Structure 1
Amino acid sequence: MFNLLSKAPKSAKNDILSGLTVALALVPEAVAFAFVAGVEPLVGLYAAFIVGLIAAIVGGRPGMISGATGALAVVMVSLVAVHGVEYLFATVLLMGLLQILAGVFKLGKFIRMVPHPVMLGFVNGLAIVIFLAQLGQFKVMDEAGTLQWMQGEALYLMLGLIALTMAIIHFLPKLTSAVPSTLVAIVVVTGLVFGLELESRTVLDFLKDMTGDLDATIAGGLPSFHIPVVPFTLETLYIILPYALILAAIGLIESLLTLTLIDEITQTRGNGNRECIGQGAANITCGVFGAMGGCAMIGQSMININSGGRSRLSGISAALILLAFILVGSSLIEMIPLAALVGVMFMVVLGTFEWSSLRIMKKVPKSDAFVIILVSAVTVATDLAIAVCVGVIVSALVFAWEHAKHIYTNSYIDEKGSKVYELHGPIFFGSVNNFLELFDVKNDPKDIIIEFKYSRVTDHSAIDAIDTLVERYSNTGKTLHLRHLSEDCKELLSKAADLVEVNVIEDPTYKVADNRLG
């Protein structure tokens, strides 16, 4: 659990340098998300430190970066606006507890059921969201105190520095991989701006614009233990529980999908249930140390992976370096040009977006292409949790619709004069109508056999459909036999109990999925 280093002898250097790069990129994001949630900048910075540290140590995915995120911030803002920040801390604490319970009950494994088109839509949508979030850095505060788009020389300088940052990140690895190209790009651009005394906006300028305070700074002390100051009553629980459920779901979905993405990139396997527990422990800690909580961050995780960070040490380094920035190094961070950080995030966008999904649109089924576009659009328009839920539901409905067509029968008269319907394909909620239309009740002989050797009864809708068919034959004075039907299904067919004939010797042992079977 606490194996911080991978087997590669130089991984410690890679992980620490990668952690430094991630920490630099975390600062403006944590500050921005704090303002989205309606809390002080340090509340977001503390969350980035606490969630990043504990998730890196306890979580189930080495190399994944966690911190304060926009997906959670947009849910928190209404709670803070109505009830205040103390209720937010109580909600984050309860959120963490719910996430730990999800891990204890091993719910993390269900993320593996997310269809691949939904995953493609997820990464594409997040890439677009990350890109759109960077556009805010192209705005400056005018004399009237309103944000305006950059123009003229300021805009050209910003674009030039962004292009330089991206070029260094792209081309430096072709020359050497001794140090992360992202870190080199940030250092070079920062040195260039101050060496040539260029008028480029810095992290400090961004902080001043966000707060409206000319003395704004990210400097602060250690987070202190703080029990949320709220009444411990049922009324408080009624207020915070809905928010906690939504935040816990969003946090786990984003974290587990990011885990799955990094699994694919690194060709390794993380532990989803352990990640649930790690995220929960991190958020409980946030709740009692005055932080806004968080989850996995796909952008920073991609920076870490691309910079060579693979082990838990990279995430731990990022969190500890971020804390050092808050305690003693705020002046160094505040002087970093925003253009350098925007360039880094633009490279993350290019690396995150699944460009192959554009090429395969005409090669995959239209339903899959639709799901990719739908999930991407919903991610941008709303949030990740809604997008994934919509994508899974649409994929499930498409699957049900397609498989509903795959049921048919081969019928013949056997040596005893009985008509045998040899059923092929599954019977489930989507195929029951097609199933009932396969039988000619009016013209069939007195004795009918349905052969289930090549079919499966999968849900209670199928059981009800068989009951309906039995009633139809019974009402016409005909006898229906069900052969090769599971014992569990026979027990549920209460209306057909005295009509069912089952060949016990040849019966398969499959079971019917029904709540009444426990």
Structure 2
Amino acid sequence: MTSPLLTRLRAEWAPSIPRELLAGAVATFALIPEVIAFSFVAGVDPSVGLFASFVISLVIAFTGSRPAMVSAAAGSVALVAAPLVQSHGLQYLFAAGLLAGAVQVLFGLLRLGVLMRFVSSSVRTGFVNALAILIFSAQLPHLAGAGIATWALLALGLALIYGLPRLGALLGWRALTAIPSPLICVVVLSVLSSALGLALPTVADLGQLPDALPVWGLPAVPASLETLRIVLLPALAIAMVGLLESVLTAAVVDELTDTPSDKNRECAGLGVANIAASCFGGIAGCGMVGQAVGNVKYGGRGRLSTLFAGVFLLVLMVALKPWVSQVPVIALVSIMVMVSAETFDWTSLRTLVRHPRLSSAVVLATVVVTLASHNLAAGVAVGVVLSGVFFAFKVARLLDVRCEDRDGDGATGRRTWRVSGQVFFASADAFVDAFDVLGAGQRSVRIDVSRAHFWDVTAVGALNKVVQRLRHHGCTVDVVGLNAASEVLIDRLGTGAV
């Protein structure tokens, strides 16, 4: 009888070992062109990015929270790292990676992953769509000035990727559905290109591939305050960008698999992986949405697919280097085009016109800023800010202040203002303006706030201002209905007017 522990480990690591291995292999081929490309963006040799991707995948398979998620050395981290490499060299980049990893571990231990709850679904949609467009646009240089042979192989590659699973399902051939079609695409296009003697760019043309295993070693930088001054800000930027992309990637995989993950553990796990990568001569990395989507699409559900993606990458780059070097780049472009199409949220095009205009504006702003800056973190930051501003604007409009005259002829009797809604920095001015202080006369005034809530010091200041103005004009003011939270805030921050 299988023990509960073994059952849990099997579900977490490898629900289906063949599918995990094959899905991890697909993720590996999707990693190669992007890792090499972003290595050039960061100003480092391809081996630095490839070694880092191997180490990160290996470590985070054990330390991370999200099974089937793919993390590697790519993304906006490369953009942040480039200036440091140019100004101080590669060793300082490794030092920044160590510090960034430590910050990420601390972030996870302090359970600050909860902050990602402030990233709305509109921002996540914009993030995913912008990333899909960036992945696709990164393939265009490989197609610039391409000949008929290149376009023909691209068409054949896409036909194999999308057509073989459908053909296998139609004919009942399990082999065509069991083996991920991107792997078949790589083999077929490689054999065809070699057999026909086509002079096409190969993986070897992308850059010098590693010819040895990574070696452990601490960064060769002085242990001084000057070194800390140099690497501190880049390390914080690397840490924040990596955390943002990884947690958003985990959220995407959560939705695809309909399973939860611990974002705090994911943050700490990424930090451990980046520390390890830096000690093995690699650049820091983060979660990769496109590769994670491809992994899940082709059956990856457990940690084994993540682990194998890194191990297979090292095997390809070192042990099988002569064969991998001859793989035509167009085969990898075909896979990346598929990854781009699968990553893009096509339903968002329909919902863009049906959803509230402010939500759609957040999606578009996230996409536009990301594409303009080529920085996913910048796009998400703008999206989060806009979401907060729009939310505050909508909530502020829900504030309602109504005036009632009772117990008299309206000139000398009691006047009651009933307040409903949320009073905070965005609605405080509207709250003050709603009171006709001059028209109140010298009478008894009651302000009923039983249906209102005061959130911050600005709200408390607004209430105090109204009360002081009324008393200045000879009114007797009584504030009733304060809820417990508002009363505590007013007692703590108030000036004694209430």
Calculate the TM-score normalised by the size of structure 2. Answer: 0.92
1:190-209 to 2 correspondence within 5 Å? 190-207=190-207
Q: Secondary structure at the match of 1:21?
A: helix
Q: Secondary structure at the match of 2:425?
A: coil
The answer to whether structure 1 residue 490 and structure 2 residue 481 are counterparts is no
* Aligned partners of 2:238 and 2:284 also within 8 Å: no
The answer to whether structure 1 residue 92 and structure 2 residue 97 are counterparts is yes
> Which residue matches 2:153?
161
CA separation in 1, counterparts of 2:231 and 2:382? 25
> Which residue matches 2:282?
291
Residue by residue over 1:241-298, the C-alpha shift from the partner in whole angstroms, topping out at 9 and shown as x without a partner, is 1001111111011111111111111111111111101100011112221111101111
> Which residue matches 1:213?
none
Are residues 38 and 8 of structure 1, via their aligned partners in 2, closer, same or farther at CA, if it must alter by over 3 Å? closer
CA separation in 1, counterparts of 2:348 and 2:229? 43
* Aligned partners of 2:203 and 2:325 also within 8 Å: yes
Q: Secondary structure at the match of 2:421?
A: strand
Q: Secondary structure at the match of 1:373?
A: helix
Aligned length, in residue pairs: 476
> Which residue matches 1:467?
464
1:78-477 to 2 correspondence within 5 Å? 78-138=83-143, 149-151=144-146, 155-174=147-166, 175=168, 176-207=176-207, 216=208, 218-382=209-373, 383-415=375-407, 417-444=413-440, 445-477=442-474
Please report how far the alpha carbon of residue 7 of structure 1 lies from its aligned counterpart in structure 2 after TM superposition: 7.6
Of 4-13 and 455-464, the range deviating more from structure 2: 4-13
* Aligned partners of 2:460 and 2:490 also within 8 Å: no
> Which residue matches 1:211?
none
Q: Secondary structure at the match of 1:310?
A: coil
Q: Secondary structure at the match of 1:362?
A: helix
Q: Secondary structure at the match of 1:223?
A: coil
Residue by residue over 1:146-189, the C-alpha shift from the partner in whole angstroms, topping out at 9 and shown as x without a partner, is xxx424xxx22111111111111112222242111221221222
Residue by residue over 1:62-107, the C-alpha shift from the partner in whole angstroms, topping out at 9 and shown as x without a partner, is 0010101131111111101111111000000000000011101111
> Which residue matches 2:171?
none
CA separation in 2, counterparts of 1:81 and 1:16? 38
* Aligned partners of 2:15 and 2:302 also within 8 Å: no
CA separation in 1, counterparts of 2:108 and 2:35? 26
Runs of at least 5 residues in structure 2 that lack an aligned partner in the other structure: 169-175
> Which residue matches 1:510?
none
CA separation in 2, counterparts of 1:33 and 1:449? 65
Of 242-251 and 447-456, the range deviating more from structure 2: 447-456
* Aligned partners of 1:34 and 1:73 also within 8 Å: yes
> Which residue matches 1:16?
21
Are residues 490 and 75 of structure 1, via their aligned partners in 2, closer, same or farther at CA, if it must alter by over 3 Å? closer
Residue by residue over 1:415-471, the C-alpha shift from the partner in whole angstroms, topping out at 9 and shown as x without a partner, is 594222111110011111111111111121521111111111111110111111122
Structure with the bigger percentage of helix? 2
Are residues 414 and 490 of structure 1, via their aligned partners in 2, closer, same or farther at CA, if it must alter by over 3 Å? farther
Are residues 88 and 469 of structure 1, via their aligned partners in 2, closer, same or farther at CA, if it must alter by over 3 Å? same
Please report how far the alpha carbon of residue 411 of structure 1 lies from its aligned counterpart in structure 2 after TM superposition: 2.7
Which residue identity lines up with residue 441 of structure 1 in the other structure? Answer: V
* Aligned partners of 1:467 and 1:493 also within 8 Å: no
* Aligned partners of 2:12 and 2:303 also within 8 Å: no
* Aligned partners of 1:219 and 1:325 also within 8 Å: no
CA separation in 2, counterparts of 1:350 and 1:327? 30
Are residues 481 and 10 of structure 1, via their aligned partners in 2, closer, same or farther at CA, if it must alter by over 3 Å? closer
Which residue identity lines up with residue 270 of structure 1 in the other structure? Answer: S
* Aligned partners of 2:13 and 2:303 also within 8 Å: no
The answer to whether structure 1 residue 36 and structure 2 residue 41 are counterparts is yes
CA separation in 2, counterparts of 1:5 and 1:378? 42
* Aligned partners of 1:4 and 1:313 also within 8 Å: no
Report the identity percentage.
38
* Aligned partners of 1:5 and 1:312 also within 8 Å: no
* Aligned partners of 2:405 and 2:416 also within 8 Å: yes
CA separation in 2, counterparts of 1:473 and 1:370? 42
* Aligned partners of 1:5 and 1:12 also within 8 Å: no
CA separation in 2, counterparts of 1:10 and 1:260? 21
Q: Secondary structure at the match of 1:495?
A: coil
Runs of at least 5 residues in structure 1 that lack an aligned partner in the other structure: 139-148, 208-215, 501-518
* Aligned partners of 2:36 and 2:206 also within 8 Å: no
* Aligned partners of 1:15 and 1:311 also within 8 Å: yes
Calculate the TM-score normalised by the size of structure 1. Answer: 0.88
* Aligned partners of 1:36 and 1:70 also within 8 Å: no
